[in-house]
Amino acid sequence: MRRRRQGEVLAANFRGRDVEGDTVAARPWTVWDALKTYSLRNLVFALVLGVLAAAAGAAIAFGQPKVYSSQAQLIIDQPRAIAQAKDNGPILKLAVLKIKYAELVKSPGIAGPASQAVGVSEDQVVRSIIVTATPLDLLLTLTAQSATKSTAPRMANAVGTSITNYADQEQQNLGVAPADRYEFSFVQQATKTARIQPTARRALQAAVGLGVIGFVLAYVTLQLLAPRPR
């Protein structure tokens, strides 16, 4: 290193070179540098690609197979036991029994008769039925999903009927008198059907999501590939 003579002043290195004239390595071009450099052309191109990605997302969402949903609701009750009870014991027992039958819905004893009533395979019933049972009440909610609008409510009602028959037959086999049996009954049969796929809301979500992702990726890529400003 050259020694500094007396009276010699060190100057700041603004040109990327040291006082001896040696070249200093250029700082790497980063994503942040690319984003800070504004380019109207790249912005327009990225917007166009983002719109195309949004259109593709909407098309994919609308192209999904149609799925319809319908819901039925049962309640478990034991009129004589509840009427004669001095505490909430019978109600707690029924709440536990309700969970038991919710877990049996996809068993052959319940799904089998339901599939025969609807005219579909047992496997389709098992895959298409959703059971909701909370320990806070005596209700059992059955949601059926199907590719056809007419099958969904029929399947939900058929499963509800199958649960009712299964519970009664089980108690009959145990020798429980009819007046002492608990029973399931419909609070509401499945009558209305809603299309859950595809929907305009899901298509909009897909379009916005893919559009934003496509725009960001396109803009960053174009900025990184653009010539580095001097």
Q: Which residues are CB-neighbours of 170 under 8 A, at least 6 positions away?
A: none
Does pLDDT of 30 surpass 80? no
- pLDDT interval class at 9 (50, 70, 90): very low
Q: Which residue has the higher pLDDT, 185 or 21?
A: 185
What's the pLDDT tens digit per position in 111-156? 999 999 999 999 999 999 999 998 788 999 999 999 999 999 999 9
- pLDDT interval class at 60 (50, 70, 90): confident
Does pLDDT of 187 surpass 50? yes
pLDDT for res 182: 94
For the chain, give the percent of residues with pLDDT over 70: 84
DSSP 8-state code for residue 107: S
Domains defined along the chain, listed by start: 31-63+199-225 (no CATH), 67-197 (3.30.70.1130)
Structure tokens at 99: 């969970």
Structure tokens at 38: 């504004």
With contact defined as beta carbons under 8 Å apart, do 95 and 108 qualify? no
* 3-state SS class at 94: helix
Quote the pTM value.
Answer: 0.69
DSSP 8-state code for residue 179: G
